[in-house]
């Protein structure tokens, strides 16, 4: 399908772009477990991939090279291995915060964790969730406000991280919600 790529804004053949990378669905699904989705106060499990003709091949490749591939290689897998969490547990002492906040780690303390790729990937997912309606009635399109265009420009490499924007990556150590 030909159209305008949502990221680089050039006319091109648009590919089937996934809200979350297709490899994540395959790697996280088992016969008894399906990927979980959270939107507002709704949550559900589904192996149905959410996709739309959104990005050109060049932009899909950029997302893959700058974040998706690395995150996919380090994510929680259906058989239970989790390289990213293993790296966290080996690499540093967690920061001390009040109970029930989770276990925060100082990101820059890890040589084996590519913080730039992790942050790029997380940014790309947030941007995708805000750039359009994905056609899933249970999903609420994110309102990124003034950060939408700034994130798009960051993801293309045209500018640095948006001033005043913060992204926090939360890593769960289980498939259980």
Q: Residue 94 has what pLDDT?
A: 52
Contacts 24+ apart (CB under 8 A), 133-142: 134/19, 134/50, 134/51, 134/52, 135/50, 135/52, 136/50, 138/37, 138/39, 138/42, 138/44, 139/19, 139/37, 139/39, 139/50, 140/39, 140/40
Where along the chain do its domains lie?
A: 2-156
14-58 pLDDT per residue, tens: 999 999 887 776 655 555 555 666 555 666 566 667 899 999 999
Q: Residue 39 has what pLDDT?
A: 59
Q: Is the pLDDT of residue 153 over 80?
A: yes
Residues 104/94, Cβ–Cβ less than 8 Å: yes
CA angle 40, 16, 122 (to 5 degrees): 45
Q: What is the mean pLDDT of residues 158-167?
A: 90
CA pair distance 61, 95, nearest whole angstrom = 35
**Model confidence, pTM:** 0.81
CA pair distance 113, 87, nearest whole angstrom = 7
CA pair distance 59, 56, nearest whole angstrom = 5
């Amino acid at each position: 399908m030909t159209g305008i790529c949502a990221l680089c804004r050039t006319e091109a053949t648009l590919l089937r772009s996934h809200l979350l990378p297709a490899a994540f669905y395959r790697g996280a699904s088992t016969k008894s477990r399906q990927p979980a989705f959270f939107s507002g106060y709704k949550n559900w499990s589904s192996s149905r991939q959410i996709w739309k003709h959104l990005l050109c091949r060049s932009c899909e490749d950029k997302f893959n090279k700058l974040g998706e591939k690395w995150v996919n290689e380090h994510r929680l897998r259906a058989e239970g291995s989790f390289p990213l969490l293993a790296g966290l547990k080996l690499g540093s002492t967690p920061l001390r915060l009040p109970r029930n906040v989770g276990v925060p780690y100082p990101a820059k303390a890890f040589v084996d964790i590519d913080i730039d790729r992790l942050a790029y990937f997380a940014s790309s997912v947030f941007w995708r969730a805000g750039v359009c309606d994905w056609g899933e009635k249970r999903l609420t399109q994110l309102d990124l406000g003034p950060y939408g265009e700034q994130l798009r420009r960051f993801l293309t490499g045209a500018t640095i991280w948006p001033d005043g924007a913060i992204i926090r990556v939360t890593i769960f150590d289980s498939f259980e919600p």
